[in-house]
Structure formats: structure tokens, C-alpha cells
């Protein structure tokens, strides 16, 4: 018996399961289904007593509720590829699924349903919904400051569920003006929907150019800008500075290097949006410029002190946060090897220039690592670069279990 999902066409709640299935190898059929007719039959009601969609028919039995169906697809075949590599990661994913249901889906419905003419327009309810969506986006934007994905370093069910909760918002009402303050969320959302597993379900995603409004609604008059004292913002060092009155930054020596054919931003997009070994790494080696860039292997000097995974993960996260000045000049993968109580940290890095950049030493933790230059012409060392960056392959005597972070 195949897996069949019943719903009306273009239901973003169905897409969650279909996208998850694309990651885990679960094929889900979506037969033609007429709401108000097919879901009212005695046969349907016997399997799905709520008579609501989406509803999934599996060889083991029926399932309803879209997040339960998405979880089933994510767990299919015993796979944990997108449901976390540990009980803690799985719980983090569940946390974001609950966040999506409570903090995004509810206000999104209040904002969008009047546009779809499902419920009458209510100006006050719409404004409350917009405010609630802003709060959710602010939280997501902060969380994604130093992260590519919501949980871990690869797409998880959390990314699938939350991005689909935002999908109608992004394509209908989050126009350029509304979304401009949420750059990290925008980058994450576009990274997700451009993954092949998403695109086969969604097709091309076009963001809203103009905010859709419900019938009977009128655009609020623009408020006249008022002069205001310059806001104060925390600096990286924990102090305060006047916005618009920042001191000019000293130019990095790396900015004075000759032009290079390796575009770092293009590399990061290629890495994020494609199969790493089949597409991204061939692109990298084709564009790598040994006169403009260098590759480095790092190894933590005090691995014998690493006994707890959560402490080691915090160490890795803190190290990468303090590398912020190098984001426009570098890329890397910092991995955790072994099992408690014997853990190790190792990384593989790309930096602008042929030597370790001065900015690296502004991170006080950098001296706690040994740094060894990688010979890109050596096939064995090239393979090591691909292994570290894809998280797949032979790490020698080190045991790797999908724990680490990508710096980009």
C-alpha cells in the first residue's frame, strides 16, 4: 500500500510532509480530492473522524494533523537525517515546530484569511497579527545571526515546518519594506526554498513585491518622519555607540590584495544551495585561486580536557562568534569528534591571502589551536578538505557523528 495524502491543492501544510519525504525517501501521492465532498464520505470519516485535511493514509494506518504527518515523513525508514542526531537536537526541532504553530500560524491566519475572504476583514485584528508576526521575525532574525539553519548545520524538520508557516506571508504580504529589517530570516528562507527537495514541491518562489490587502481594507497613511536622537547600540565589545556616528573602520590588508577569481559570497551560496560533493566542491576547485586564498587545518590544543558534549559545543559556538571579523574573508567547518568523555575539535578553513590573516588573532581563542597549511595540489589533502566541508567520508582514526558548525 502506498502513502497517500488528501487535501485541497496548494496546501502549505501538505508541503511540509512532501518536502520532508524528499529528504528521507518517502514518496507521497496526492490524488485529486474535493473538499466538502470526498471528506464527507463514510469511508473517509471512518479513517479520519475529524474529516479535516491534510490526512495521510499509510500502510500502518491513518494519520491526521499536519505536523504529525510531517514528523512521520521525517522519521520514515528510521532515518534521523532531518530529525536531529541526538535526543536534544530532536527536542530543539520540536521546540521550533511548536513555535511555528503558536507564534506564526495563528497570527498568519488572522492576517491572511481576510485576504482569502475566508473571514471578514477586521482592521484591529490585522494590526495585532502584523505586530505578532514582527515579534516572531525579530526572534528568528536574532537566532539566525550566526546560524545557517535553525538547528544544526543542515536542513532539519524545523526549517521545513517554520519556512512553510512563513511561505504565504513571504509570497503575499511581506513586501520589501516589511521584510527589510529581517535580513537573516530572508537569507535563511531563500536558502531553504531553493534546496532541490523544496523546489520539486514548491517550484520557483517569488517574494511579495507589494503587500496584498483584504477587500475593504485601506493602506494606512504614511507617518511623517520625525527627528529623533540617535539611538544607541551595543558594540561587539559590550559598550555603546551613537548610530550614524561610528568611527570609520581601518581598512583590512586583505582588502588591498589583487583581485581573485574566487568570489566568496558566490561560494557560500553554492555551498548552501547545492549537493556539496556533487556540485559545490567541483565548483570550488574550479574557482580556487592559490595566489589569493589559502586552506588551513586547525586542531584544538587541549582536546584531553573535552569530556562533555554540551560544553564542547559551547566552546565551538563561542569560537565562531568571535571570528565575526573574518566572515567577509573566510569560510570553515569546525567539527567535534569522538564520544564522551573523549572528545576532540578540528577544523578546515579557507582564508583570503596566502598566510593566516591578522584578524584571526583578534579572536583570543585562536591561539588555542594549531594551524597547519593545506597543500591544495596534494590529492589526499584535497580529499580532506571535501571530507571536512561535506561532513562525509574518512576522518582517519577520528569518529565523527554529525556534530559541528559551519562558519560562513
User: What was the pLDDT predicted at 243?
Assistant: 34
Please give the pLDDT value at position 228.
Answer: 42
CA dist., res. 300 & res. 344, Å (int):
7
pLDDT tens digits along 78-115: 766 799 888 999 999 999 999 999 999 999 999 999 99
pLDDT at 326 over 80: yes
pLDDT at 220 over 50: no
C-alpha cell at 51: 474529516
Name the least confident of 34-43, 61-70, 294-303: 34-43
Q: Do strands 232-234 and 240-242 pair parallel, antiparallel, or not at all (unpaired)?
A: antiparallel
| 239: pLDDT strictly greater than 50 | no
Nearest Cα neighbor of 170 from 196, 149, 193, 153 is 193
Q: 142 falls in which pLDDT band (50, 70, 90)?
A: very high
Please, which pLDDT band fits residue 128 given cuts at 50, 70 and 90?
very high
Q: Is the pLDDT of residue 233 over 50?
A: no
The total number of residues written for the chain in this structure: 408
Residue 245 pLDDT more than 50? no
Give φ, ψ of 110 to 5 degrees: -65, -35
Going by C-alpha positions, the residue among 99, 106, 85 that lies closest to residue 339 is 85
360 vs 367: CA distance, rounded Å: 9
Cα separations in angstroms, 221 against 97, 165, 312, 399? 36, 29, 52, 60
The answer to whether residue 247 scores a pLDDT higher than 50 is no
Predicted pLDDT of residue 311:
77
Distance CA 79, CA 260 (A): 42
Please answer whether residues 66 and 13 qualify as being in contact, where contact means their C-beta atoms are separated by less than 8 angstroms: yes
Counting residues of the chain whose pLDDT is more than 70, the rounded percentage is 91
Residue 164 pLDDT > 90? yes
Q: pLDDT at position 293, please?
A: 97
* Pairing verdict, β 61-64 and 369-373: unpaired
Query: What are the b/e assignments for 295-331, b being 16+ CB within 10 Å?
Result: bbbbebeeeeebeebeebbebbeebbeebebbeebbb
DSSP, res 141: H
Lowest mean pLDDT among 95-104, 119-128, 221-230, 304-313: 221-230
Rounded to the nearest integer, the mean pLDDT of the chain is 87
Question: How far is CA 202 from its chain centroid?
Answer: 17
What domains, with CATH codes, occur in the chain?
Answer: 4-75 (3.40.30.10), 87-202 (1.20.1050.10), 259-407 (3.30.70.1010)
More confident residue, 281 or 314: 281
Res 145 pLDDT > 80? yes
Amino acid at each position: 500500500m502506498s502513502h497517500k495524502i488528501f487535501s485541497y491543492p496548494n496546501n502549505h501544510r501538505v508541503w511540509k510532509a512532501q518536502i520532508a519525504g524528499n529528504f528521507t525517501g518517502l514518496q507521497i501521492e496526492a490524488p485529486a480530492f474535493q473538499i466538502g465532498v470526498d471528506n464527507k464520505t463514510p469511508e473517509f470519516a471512518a479513517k479520519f473522524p475529524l474529516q479535516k485535511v491534510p490526512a495521510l493514509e499509510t500502510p500502518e494506518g491513518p494519520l491526521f494533523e499536519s505536523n504529525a504527518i510531517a514528523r512521520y515523513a521525517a522519521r520514515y525508514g528510521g532515518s534521523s537525517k532531518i530529525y536531529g542526531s541526538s535526543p536534544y537536537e530532536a527536542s530543539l526541532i520540536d521546540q521550533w515546530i511548536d513555535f511555528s504553530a503558536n507564534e506564526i500560524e495563528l497570527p498568519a491566519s488572522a492576517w491572511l484569511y481576510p485576504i482569502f475572504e475566508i473571514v471578514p476583514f477586521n482592521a484591529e485584528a490585522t494590526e495585532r497579527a502584523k505586530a505578532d508576526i514582527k515579534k516572531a521575525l525579530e526572534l528568528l532574525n536574532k537566532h539566525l545571526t550566526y546560524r545557517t539553519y535553525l538547528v544544526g548545520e543542515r536542513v532539519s524538520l524545523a526549517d521545513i515546518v517554520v519556512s512553510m508557516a512563513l511561505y504565504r506571508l513571504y509570497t503575499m504580504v511581506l513586501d520589501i519594506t516589511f521584510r527589510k529589517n529581517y535580513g537573516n530570516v530572508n537569507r535563511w528562507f531563500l536558502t531553504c526554498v531553493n534546496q532541490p527537495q523544496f523546489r520539486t514541491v514548491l517550484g520557483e518562489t517569488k517574494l511579495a513585491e507589494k503587500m496584498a490587502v483584504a477587500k475593504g481594507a485601506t493602506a494606512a497613511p504614511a507617518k511623517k518622519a520625525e527627528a529623533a536622537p540617535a539611538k544607541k547600540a551595543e558594540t561587539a565589545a559590550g559598550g555603546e555607540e551613537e548610530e550614524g556616528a561610528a568611527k570609520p573602520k581601518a581598512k583590512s590588508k586583505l582588502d588591498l590584495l589583487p583581485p581573485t577569481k574566487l568570489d566568496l559570497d558566490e561560494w557560500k551560496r553554492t555551498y548552501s544551495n547545492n549537493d556539496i560533493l556533487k556540485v559545490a566542491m567541483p565548483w570550488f576547485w574550479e574557482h580556487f585561486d592559490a595566489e589569493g586564498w589559502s586552506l588551513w587545518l586547525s586542531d584544538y590544543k587541549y582536546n584531553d580536557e573535552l569530556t562533555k558534549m554540551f560544553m564542547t559545543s559551547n566552546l565551538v559556538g563561542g569560537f565562531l562568534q568571535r571570528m565575526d571579523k573574518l566572515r567577509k574573508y573566510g569560510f570553515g567547518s569546525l567539527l567535534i569528534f569522538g564520544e564522551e568523555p573523549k572528545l576532540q575539535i578540528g577544523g578546515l578553513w579557507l582564508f583570503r591571502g596566502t598566510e593566516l590573516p591578522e584578524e584571526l588573532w583578534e579572536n583570543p581563542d585562536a591561539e588555542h589551536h594549531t594551524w597547519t597549511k593545506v597543500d591544495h595540489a596534494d590529492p589526499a589533502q584535497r580529499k580532506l578538505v571535501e571530507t571536512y566541508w561535506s561532513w562525509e567520508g574518512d576522518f582517519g582514526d577520528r569518529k565523527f557523528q554529525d556534530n559541528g558548525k559551519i562558519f560562513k
